[in-house]
Structure 1
Amino acid sequence: MKRLRIVAADSASAILNADFEPLSIVAVASVLVNPPYREPDERLAEPLFVEAKDGHELVVHEAELCRDLLKNVRADVVHLDMSLGAVPLERLSAIQLGDIRVSSRARRHVLKILPRLRKIAGEITREHGIEVLAIGKESVPVRIAELTAGAYSILYASERAVKEDKTLLLGLPSKCQPRIDQSGVYLYSLIAAEHDVRGYAKDVGEVLKKVNISEILNPCARGFRALEIKPKH
């Protein structure tokens, strides 16, 4: 049986206002996931802090981050967080998109970014001989990328809280829980049958020593947790 090596990417977490409404998306990560597909073997992450209303365009940057990770790792396929029936992006046309069951709003968003996505997918296929699939949340590696981005978002939000000397409210990805230790942050899935699926971010700058973090449930979004991050004085 072939042991698939999968590169995937996703964006995660949001700075929330006092009404628990998302203001900005915090982090993006690409990961290499090998069997048994429980955590990343390699990762790249970046802070974003882009407006939440522009979140639908982040998949382009996610594809770019997969391309960047593939410069240093080998994989058999790329998974992106687009729920389009796992079609290869390089071969996806506007006509084919019309046959896929998605909302008209989602179709408009995809059509807007499709040329850029096809270009990146084509580069990956030519350079590495692998396909980029629009598989979405059905992919476990995409979930691991989401949890990894979520773990890094805790570090990035902590850095911003310290820099700006103010308390931030960070909304985490759905159905997950952080575990913070001396070296960094683990973000574990709380979904049934995913109890051992997790992302990780190493606290290289030791920013977690500079903040107090308290965990609360998001009262406006069932299944979501939030972190109140306060700088230490």
Structure 2
Amino acid sequence: MSKMQLRSVLLLFLISLFVLSVTAEEDVEDIDLDDDEVNHAEESAAYYCYAFFPNQTHPTLPTGSKSQSLIGYQNNHKSNTQTVVLVAGYLQPKGTYGTVLQNFSVVRQARTVKPKESVSFQYFFTPDVYFEPGDYNLVIGLYVQDTTTNSTSFVVGYNSTVALREPLGTDPRTILTYFTLLAIIGGVGYLFRDKIVPQKASAPKRTAQSDRMVSQKGDGEKSDAIDTDYISKDHLQYKQQLIDKTASSSRGRKAAPKIN
């Protein structure tokens, strides 16, 4: 390649770079940010907050039982000290962010966080036992105060879907249902007890032996006569001799003359 050709190639390369630079400048548009967007960007860069549930990638929480969340917070501000005032959380219907179903307990902290310092918190909350199983939206966050500007903001650590499931152990609604059924069965049994359970006779049953020992008179009155089938013959003869002897003695006393 001659020097003349080399100079031509370099000239074309320089012209191409010039054209590209002009085109890039024409395509660039200025982006203006308002004050609120600038402040939000600065606030977002001033901290980092994240909440998670131990050993659960997709949280599944039992209703009526205490659940645990771990919250990490880092103060990324260059010079301002921050104070974590409160830890709070609430439950919402899935996809309906303007409605709050349950506000969980608020925990006071008053934890000072210096610039570039990181802290962690444990947060316990209990979903109401009467929630139906399904997916809900859970929000957990910190109320943080900037000690320099004295401004307080709610920093969200968790804002996502959780699954609520049946309570652990015995369900109170199940206990109430069984108790109601038992009460109904007991009431029906009490009302129809005369038809279900046969009544016992008020008078004791008589044995065959006792019926033979007691004979009936003409009008059904009981008699004290003795059934001779159960008495030995010797005893009957002895008794008859006594009766005859007594009768003869009585006749002898009646026939004796009176002595004046």
More strand by share: 1
* Higher relative contact order (Cα pairs below 8 Å, separated by 6+ residues): 1
The answer to whether the superposition gives a TM-score over 0.5 is no
TM-score, structure 1 as length reference: 0.21
TM-score, structure 2 as length reference: 0.19
The structure that has the greater radius of gyration is 2
